[in-house]
């Protein structure tokens, strides 16, 4: 087990290295000069030269990469060109908002998708099944920015139930925290939930048609016992995989939703750093997102062992 985790951690480090090379190459392939963006449309050429030199942007690209990498492995992600602040500070002050939204959205997604997915599979072909499938189709198809604006116009402007945007931390005011969280969590939670619903429904449906389910029924077990003791234990594995992927996706910062709801998360920071060619921040943000994604995947893989004794024995 320990050896397995260590091997996975080593693979993660390799993957992160690969990600850093790809991001670094891409951002230098795209035209755009961070110094020009910072100085605006009008500037003094001497100032431009001095800033370029100070930021080390006049050095060959490989030198820039390895100097960044050397600092990064020692835990120093550098300083943002745009704001003059340490990259690590910028990332970590935005991490709580991103985690809050991701977890809340996943909560909404699970709340909707697990009961509906199981019921739809068990009563496959019923009105409930058709209704839920159609609703999920609509929810995945509607663009998130449009849905977000509609929720704001309905729940904030017309009904005045919830604030239209912004983020309040839980420690400052739990009630306001929940009010501000509801609409963005609903916007992506319902989309995420629709995707999960379809997976859960098909995973349960597949398990329902397995020989062991027929056997369980033949033994005379009640339908409830069949579902919870035989169908679901087998359906959980594909479900957990997809839930893990969804959580990784939510944690990586849902840029559009963060912009609409003025949510101060990592996605918005990453977007700003792309616009301003703030290389160090973008590198840091992408690495952090990749790290979170890979970690969630590792946790999911470890969960398999818990859910399925066969995996544990291998």
Partner 1 sequence: MLFLAFALVASACSGDDGIDVSDAPADDTGDDDTSDDATGDDDSGDSRSGGVLLAAQGAEPDRLDPHLTSAFASFQVLENVYDTLVQPGADLSMEGALAESWEVSADNLTWTFTMRDGVTWHNGRAFTAADVEYSYNRILDPEAGAANAWRFGSVESVSAVDDTTLEIKVSRPTPNLLVSIGAFKGMAIVPREIVEDGTIDTQPVGTGPFKFVSSSPDQGIVLERNDDYWRADEGLPYLDGVTFTQIPDQTVKLTNLQTGEVDWVDTVPPQQLAGLEGDDSLVVMRVPGGDYHYFALNQNRPPFDNVLVRQAIATAINRGEIAEAAQFGAATANQAAIPAGTFWTYDYSPFPAADTDAAAALLDEAGVTDLTIEFLVSSEFPETVTQAEVIAAQLDAIGVAVEIRDVDFGTWLDVQGSGEFDAFMLSWIGNIDPDDFYYAQHHSDGGFNFQGYNNPDVDELLDAARVETDESARKALYEEAATAIIDDASYIYLYNPENINAWGANVQGYVVRGDNAVRFEETWLDG
Quick one: 129 or 276, whose CB is closer to partner 1? 276
CB of 169 to partner 1, least distance (A): 5
Which position has the token pair 């977000």? Answer: 148
Closer CB to partner 1, 169 or 215, in the complex: 169
Q: How far is the CB of 80 from partner 1 (least distance, A)?
A: 9
Q: How far is the CB of 250 from partner 1 (least distance, A)?
A: 18
Q: Which is nearer to partner 1, 54 or 310 (CB)?
A: 54
Report in angstroms how near the CB of residue 159 gets to partner 1 at its nearest: 10
Nearer to partner 1, 129 or 278 (CB): 278
In angstroms, give the least distance from the CB of 310 to partner 1. 45
Which residues form the interface with partner 1 (CB under 8 A)? 30-34, 36-47, 49-51, 54, 82-85, 93-94, 97, 149, 152-153, 156-157, 160, 163-169, 172, 259-262, 264, 268, 272, 274-277
Instruction: Please identify, using beta-carbon distances, which residue of 52 and 124 lies nearer to partner 1.
Output: 52
């Amino acid at each position: 087990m320990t050896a397995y985790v260590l091997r996975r951690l080593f693979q993660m480090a390799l993957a992160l290295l690969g990600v850093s090379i790809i991001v670094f190459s891409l951002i230098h392939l795209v035209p755009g000069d961070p110094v020009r963006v910072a100085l605006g449309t009008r500037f003094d050429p001497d100032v431009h030269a001095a800033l370029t030199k100070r930021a080390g942007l006049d050095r060959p690209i490989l030198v820039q990469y390895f100097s960044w990498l050397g600092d990064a492995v020692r835990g120093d992600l550098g300083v943002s060109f745009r704001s003059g602040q340490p990259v690590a500070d910028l990332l970590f002050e935005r991490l709580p908002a991103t985690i809050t939204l991701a977890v809340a959205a996943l909560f909404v997604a699970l709340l909707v998708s697990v009961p509906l997915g199981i019921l739809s599979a068990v009563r496959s072909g019923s009105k409930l099944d058709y209704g839920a499938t159609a609703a999920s189709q609509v929810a995945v198809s509607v663009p998130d920015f449009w849905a977000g604006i509609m929720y704001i116009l309905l729940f904030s402007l017309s009904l005045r139930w919830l604030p239209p945007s912004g983020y309040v931390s839980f420690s400052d005011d739990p009630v306001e925290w929940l009010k501000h969280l509801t609409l963005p969590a609903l916007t992506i939670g319902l989309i995420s939930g629709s995707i999960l619903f379809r997976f859960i429904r098909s995973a349960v449906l597949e398990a329902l048609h397995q020989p062991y389910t027929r056997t369980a029924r033949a033994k005379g077990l009640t339908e409830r016992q069949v579902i919870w003791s035989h169908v679901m234990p087998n359906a959980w594995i594909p479900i957990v995989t997809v839930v893990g992927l969804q959580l990784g996706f939510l944690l990586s910062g849902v840029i559009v939703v963060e912009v609409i709801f003025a949510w101060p998360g990592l996605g918005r920071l990453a977007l700003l750093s792309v616009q301003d060619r703030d290389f160090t921040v973008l590198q840091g943000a992408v690495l952090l997102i990749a790290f979170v994604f890979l970690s969630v995947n590792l946790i999911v893989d470890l969960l398999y062992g818990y859910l399925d004794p066969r995996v544990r024995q291998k």
